[in-house]
Copies of this chain bind each other. A is one copy, B any other.
Amino acid sequence: MTLVNGHQQHTIDVLDRGLAYGDGLFETIAVIDGLLHHWGLHWQRLQNGSGRLMIELPDEDDLLDQINSEIKLTALQENNAERANGTVRDNGTVRDNGTVPVNSTRQILKLIISRGSGGRGYLFPTVQHPSVIIMLHPWPEREATDYEKGIHAVVCQTRLANQPALAGIKHLNRLEQVLARNELHSANEYQQDYQEGLMLSYSASKPLDSLVIEGISSNLFFVLNGLLCTPKIDNCGVLGTMREAVISLAPTSLTLKVQEGHYALQQLSRATEVFFTNSIYAILPVASITVNDSLQWCYTERTISNQLSAIINKKLKHPTQFN
């Protein structure tokens, strides 16, 4: 189901500046049992991005009304289809009469807010008519072993360019992530399967001396000298909502101090525990990081990620205990 500027349609004007220049923002939000997860954090990031790019956001209540109507409509349509087919949904329980409860499942809401059409070339118009695109996608399947055993990550060749003007916000200029993700796919040819890529910021330095920033579609946390550390997102990278949630939760629920800093990749060699965070996958423990053909670091400790998962992953119906 897709809602484009209030209309049930799946197309957009070719003159939209989102297509022309990547002139817009997006959010990927977990919908759990029909409810938006961490909406406050997503909206906060949208506001940050809209301020930076000078894109006018729609009214929050109006936007939420549209989103919630779309979620309900999708659930009703799916239920009707399932009643007709007698099929069972992931995480849904078929009732005696063959129907499943409305909104008993997990979905992904993708929200794109672009600057819309108009302006002269790169110059955007004084009066903007932003495009609001609301898309509901099926929840992606993820191997339970990713949570139970941890995932294997590899350091990407593609670096993140330093651009403070765009750092932190989730804008539509994502070619670096597209190139990095393709590396991961290509890397699979070398026998080892990698589930995430680790991205460094661009510098003349060799990888070990370069700053580690984040995963391709996740943020990075690691435990070093008893501190929970995460790279500072000031020159590149995205301020993930799940990153924010962990930073808020760790000091209060785990009495664990979080340190944001600039860390060279080689500091991960001394980390006792490493995990990624993502708005959909929540806490994903890391079993190994491959730096190159001859250097790999392994992590077996799971104390902090288990404690955080007991709170965070549970809400997203993910496995909460790792081995």
Contact = CB atoms under 8 A, between A and B. Distances in A.
Interface of A: 2, 4, 10-23, 26, 53-54, 112, 114, 120-124, 133, 135, 140, 158-159, 161-166, 171-182, 184-185, 202, 216-217, 236
A2 B19 CA distance: 15
Interface centre among A120, A123, A158, A180 (most CB of B within 10 A): A123
Contacts of A173: 21-22, 173-175
Given A120-B140, A163-B159, A181-B121, A174 B19 contact: no
11 contacts: A20-B172, A20-B174, A21-B177, A22-B175, A23-B178, A122-B181, A122-B217, A158-B165, A159-B165, A161-B162, A165-B179
Contact of A172 (B2, B19, B181): B19
Nearest to A171: B175
Given A11-B12, A171-B175, A217-B121, A26 B22 contact: no
Closest 10 interchain pairs by CB? A22-B22, A161-B161, A122-B181, A21-B174, A173-B173, A11-B11, A161-B163, A122-B177, A19-B19, A123-B181
B122 A163 contact: no
Given A123-B182, A123-B185, A182-B54, A176 B163 contact: yes
Contacts of A159: 163, 165
Given A14-B10, A133-B14, A21 B20 contact: no
Contact of A176 (B165, B174, B216): B165
B180 A122 contact: yes
A45 to B, nearest CB: 16
A26 B15 contact: no
B14 A135 contact: yes
Given A123-B181, A161-B236, A163-B202, 9 more contacts: A11-B11, A12-B19, A19-B19, A53-B175, A122-B180, A162-B202, A165-B176, A166-B175, A173-B173
